[in-house]
Amino acid sequence: MTTTEQRTNILEFKGVSAGYGGVTVCRDVNLTVRPGEVVALIGANGAGKTTTMRTAVGELTPISGQARALGQTRRASLPQLAKRGLSYVTEERSMIMTLTAAENLRLAGVSADAACVIFPDLRPLLRRQAGLLSGGEQQMLTLARALARKPRLLLADELSLGLAPQIVSRLLAVVRSAATSDGVGVLLVEQHVRQVLEVADRVYVMRRGRVIREGTATEIAADLESVQRAYLMGDSD
Ligand SMILES: Nc1ncnc2c1ncn2[C@@H]1O[C@H](COP(=O)(O)OP(=O)(O)OP(=O)(O)O)[C@@H](O)[C@H]1O
């Protein structure tokens, strides 16, 4: 990756407000993601993290401001962004549960070998129905499928929801490595704040629809108790 590429934002929000049916949920959000960096978006339930992600991937249109992914100057849909190199993964199990792991990969145009390079543990599971995989295995498959497509921008919304800490670490380590080794820009929404701070470069903290703090992961980690007390305890405080 050249220095110029590293400096270019592959995701950029300028004063973005967004919401549902005319009701504004996120207000004046400014954020950036550059190639090769892992950026975490943290905040209490209902803070507006998913709304921000859905705006970034073109599922929601900003009420005002500008949301630009992968250099698009006009609003683009998720399929258009996917063609340009966006992968979007969420906590929802997105596999077809009656198909095998290998069939799910094939359906996405991803080779089983490429997926197994990312998570070797998938190899013995390829012929198993996706619906019979554990939650952690399903998310390994989801992440392997997303990364094997060699995206330029990965948006992951609570990929590890409800999973054991050990598997959360493994998923996050693979995300970190995709950023470091392949230059993927990553925006991560995670409830596992301590773990995400270990892999993130920068962090945005949201509360009541606004970004109320940003910093390097090191800065936020050094001040984690007050961040958690002030911002993550619940939006009704
Ligand atoms: N489809 C929708 N229609 C109307 N309001 C919505 C919709 N989805 C979310 N909201 C509201 O928008 C606000 C922000 O929700 P959002 O899902 O973005 O928060 P979040 O930070 O991702 O929360 P969580 O951590 O609980 O997933 C909440 O008040 C929520 O009720």
Distance CA 30, CA 2 (A): 25
- Centre of ligand 1 to C-alpha 52, Å, is 10
Of 56-65, 67-76, 108-117, 128-137, the range with the lowest mean pLDDT is 67-76
Q: How confident is the model at residue 228 (pLDDT cuts 50, 70, 90)?
A: confident
Query: 50 C-alpha vs ligand 1 centroid, how far in Å?
Result: 7
| Contact assessment for residue 121 and residue 140, using Cβ atoms and an 8 Å cutoff | yes
Per-residue pLDDT band at 7 (split at 50, 70, 90): low
20 close to ligand 1 (CB < 6 Angstrom): yes
Please, what is the Cα angle at 100 between 99 and 103, to 5 degrees? 80
Q: Within a 10 A sphere around the Cβ of 9, how many other Cβ atoms?
A: 16
Taking the C-alpha atoms of residue 74 and residue 66, their distance in angstroms, rounded to an integer, is: 9
pLDDT at 237 (0 to 100)? 44
Ligand 1 centroid–CA 46 distance in Å is 5
Encode pLDDT of 126-181 as tens digits: 999 999 999 999 999 999 999 999 999 999 999 888 888 899 999 999 999 999 99
Model ipTM value: 0.95
Degrees, nearest 5: CA angle 34-93-37: 10
Model confidence over 34-59: pLDDT tens digits?
999 999 999 988 999 999 999 999 89
Instruction: Tell the CATH superfamily of the 1-85+153-236 domain.
Output: P-loop containing nucleotide triphosphate hydrolases (3.40.50.300)
pTM reported for the whole predicted model: 0.92
Is the model more confident about 89 or about 231?
Answer: 89
Statement: residue 193 has pLDDT above 80:
yes
User: How far is it, in rounded angstroms, from Cα 235 to Cα 175?
Assistant: 29
Query: What is the amino acid identity at position 27?
Result: R
Closest residue by CA, ligand 1 atom 12: 25
Where are the domains positioned within the chain?
1-85+153-236, 94-149
